[in-house]
Amino acid sequence: MVKCTSALRAFVFHDFKNGLTPSQCLVRLQKTFAGESIPSKRTIQRWFSDLRAGRSVLEDLSRAGRRPTAVTPDKIIALCDFVIAHPHASYAQIRHAVDIGSSQCTAILKWELGMKKICSRWVPHTLTVDQKQARLVFCQNLINVFGGEDEQRLKEIVTGDEMWGYYYNPLTKRQSMEWVKKTDPRPLKVRRSRSVRKTMFIVFFNSSGVVSILKLIPTPGRRTINAAYYVKTCLKKLVQKLRKKRGKTGFRGLKLHHNNASSHTCSLTTDFLQQEGLKLLPHPVLARPLTM
Q: Model confidence over 204-252: pLDDT tens digits?
A: 998 888 999 888 766 555 556 788 888 998 999 999 988 888 887 788 8
- pLDDT at residue 62, as a whole number: 65
0.85 exceeded by the pTM?
no
Q: Which of 11-15, 74-78, 171-175, 257-261 has the lowest mean pLDDT?
A: 171-175
- Stretch 124-145: mean pLDDT: 82
- Say if strands 115-118 and 178-181 run parallel, antiparallel, or are unpaired: antiparallel
d(CA 140, CA 92): 49
pLDDT in tens, 68-108: 456 888 889 999 999 999 998 988 899 999 988 888 898 89
- pLDDT, greater one: 292 or 142: 142
Euclidean distance between CA atoms 199 and 144, whole angstroms: 37
Using CA atoms, how far apart are residues 263 and 200, in angstroms rounded to an integer? 15
In contact, 238 and 204? CB cutoff 8 Å: yes
> Does the structure show a pLDDT above 60 at 64?
no
Average pLDDT, rounded, for the chain: 81
* 284, 138 Cβ separation under 8 angstroms: yes
pLDDT interval class at 66 (50, 70, 90): low
Question: Of 58 and 194, which is predicted with more confidence?
Answer: 58
* Mean pLDDT across 167-181: 70
Q: Which long-range contacts (CB under 8 A, 24 or more apart) does 88-91 make?
A: 88/175, 88/176, 88/177, 88/178, 89/179
pLDDT at 9 exceeding the cut of 90: no
**Is 89 within 8 Å of 83 (Cβ atoms)?**
yes
> Which amino acid makes up residue 160?
G
Pairing of strands 209-216, 198-206: antiparallel
CA distances from 129 to 124, 133, 282 (A): 16, 6, 19
